[in-house]
Amino acid sequence: MKNISISEFKLGRFFLGKLPFDKDLIASVEDFCKEASIQTAVFSVLGSVSSVTLGCYDQKQQVYVTFNEEAPLEITACIGNVSIKNGSPFVHAHIVLSDEKGKIIGGHLFSETFIFAGEISLQELKGKPFERAYDNKTGLMLWNL
């Protein structure tokens, strides 16, 4: 069995913050990382959205299949990371949401996902930044380790 490709990081700055009302979740995190010169990080988000775009990767066709849900939804879990893609901070996140009846949906998080109320915890990581590159086996933009 091949070993995991892994790197060690030191903890950098730690941020807690409020995400902006009616703005895109992914763009908000990426913009903050650009402004704060963050190249590598992990984060989690709590709160709610007014609409969400989710997807799942079709491994055979090597494309994301996406859908949009226009409804008030509670974020029950949202985790992600920040690395570099094409020279800029890039967010990769997954999210689980619930409606007023407890019905759950989730998947890979995409832009156009609009924040109703959001709180973010973001841990900067210090070390050689991870950069994303095209992976021929999967068709995905993965960390180039």
Instruction: Sketch the domain layout of the chain as residue ranges.
Output: 12-126
d(CA 62, CA 60) in angstroms, rounded, equals 6
Q: Which CATH number fits domain 12-126: 3.40.50.720, 3.30.1330.80, 3.40.309.10, 3.20.20.140?
A: 3.30.1330.80
Q: How confident is the model at residue 2 (pLDDT cuts 50, 70, 90)?
A: confident
72-98, pLDDT tens digit by residue? 999 999 999 999 999 999 999 999 999
Contacts of residue 145, Cβ cutoff 8 Å, sequence gap at least 6: 5, 6, 7, 130
